[in-house]
């Protein structure tokens, strides 16, 4: 039978429901090694499961098909969105109202999944359906339907091609949802991997800072990091 389920909620309905606040890092699948398309924020929103429970999920749906104000569609695996992670429909970001650029008035945030299968912004509709019955923008183009965020690290400093010789440090961030970052190592000029010092943890769904003191000798050097 037809598994599509729809129920109307207003923005005020969302704000009247219990809200959660979580520190979550999001990243784009197109982010290159060391790239800028990753960021962390404190998100405020309604648990996705609370919203689905009010609608009634049923036994047959296997995806949430989200549609934004311009008709863009994002397909999220229902099993991953409801497996206990802090998936939400966010209405706030960094203790302020959700900015327009980040999806005002409401957007989906699912930790551990790349944005093209989870992070629908300016969301207007979510439809419980199946992959056999409905496809989204990226699935129509042959992209994966399941896309967990891969463990990664990024070097943020030195931030340019030149650094003053002498005492300095190498530092950056790393993420590994949903297990968290347990270790970061740094390699200098192809030498042995050295353990970096980790900053405090803000939870397994949030990135973690790290650094390694370094005495930079004059000349050219190559540095690498791994989490």
Q: pTM for this one?
A: 0.90
Mean pLDDT over all residues of the chain? 93
pLDDT at residue 1, rounded to an integer: 45
Q: How many CA atoms lie within 13 A of 77 on its CB side?
A: 13
Residue 81 has pLDDT above 60, yes or no: yes
To the nearest 10°, report the CA torsion of 20, 24, 30, 31.
Answer: 160
Average the pLDDT over 125-130 and give the result: 93
Cβ neighbourhood burial of 182 (10 Å; 0-12, 13-18, 19+): exposed
The rounded percent of the chain whose pLDDT value lies above 90 is: 84
pLDDT band at 3 (very low <50, low <70, confident <90, very high): low
Tell me the pLDDT tens digit for each residue of 64-77: 999 999 999 999 99
- Round to whole Å and give the CA distance between 172 and 193: 16
Instruction: Of 147, 108, 109, 128, give the one whose Cα is nearest residue 62.
Output: 128
Are 14 and 92 in contact by the 8 Å Cβ rule? The answer is no
Are 170 and 225 in contact by the 8 Å Cβ rule? The answer is yes
Residue 194 has pLDDT above 50, yes or no: yes
pLDDT at residue 124, rounded to an integer: 94
201 versus 10: the higher-pLDDT residue is 201
Establish whether the linkage from the previous residue to 64 is cis, with ω within 30° of 0: no
Average the pLDDT over 186-205 and give the result: 97
Q: What are residue 78's phi and psi, to 5 degrees?
A: -60, -40
60 versus 171: the higher-pLDDT residue is 171
pLDDT band at 180 (very low <50, low <70, confident <90, very high): very high
CB atoms within 10 A of CB 46: 22
Are 89 and 155 in contact by the 8 Å Cβ rule? The answer is no
Are 193 and 226 in contact by the 8 Å Cβ rule? The answer is yes
Query: With b meaning 16 or more CB within 10 Å and e meaning fewer, what string describes 128-158?
Result: bbebeebbbebbeeeeebebebeebbbbeeb
The rounded percent of the chain whose pLDDT value lies above 70 is: 97
pLDDT band at 2 (very low <50, low <70, confident <90, very high): low
Residue 8 has pLDDT above 90, yes or no: no
pLDDT band at 160 (very low <50, low <70, confident <90, very high): confident
Instruction: Of 135, 19, 2, 10, give the one whose Cα is nearest residue 67.
Output: 135
């Amino acid at each position: 039978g037809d598994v599509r389920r729809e129920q109307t909620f207003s923005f005020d309905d969302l704000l009247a429901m219990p809200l959660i606040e979580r520190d979550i890092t999001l990243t784009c699948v197109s982010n290159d090694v060391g790239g800028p398309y990753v960021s962390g924020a404190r998100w405020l929103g309604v648990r996705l499961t609370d919203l689905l429970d009010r609608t009634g999920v049923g036994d047959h749906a296997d995806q949430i098909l989200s549609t934004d104000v311009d008709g863009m569609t994002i397909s999220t695996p229902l099993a991953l969105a409801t497996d206990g992670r802090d998936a939400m429909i966010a209405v706030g970001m960094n203790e302020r109202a959700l900015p327009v650029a980040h999806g005002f008035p409401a957007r989906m945030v699912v930790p551990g999944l790349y944005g093209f299968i989870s992070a629908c912004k300016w969301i207007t509709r979510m439809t419980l359906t199946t992959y056999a019955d409905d496809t989204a923008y990226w699935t129509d183009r042959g992209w994966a339907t399941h896309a967990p965020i891969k463990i990664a690290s990024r070097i943020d400093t030195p931030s340019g091609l030149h650094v003053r010789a002498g005492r300095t440090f190498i530092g950056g961030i790393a993420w590994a949802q949903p297990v968290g970052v347990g270790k970061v190592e740094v390699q200098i000029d192809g030498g042995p991997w050295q353990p970096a010092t980790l900053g405090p943890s803000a939870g397994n769904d949030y990135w973690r800072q790290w650094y390694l003191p370094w005495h930079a000798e004059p000349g050219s050097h190559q540095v690498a990091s791994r989490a």
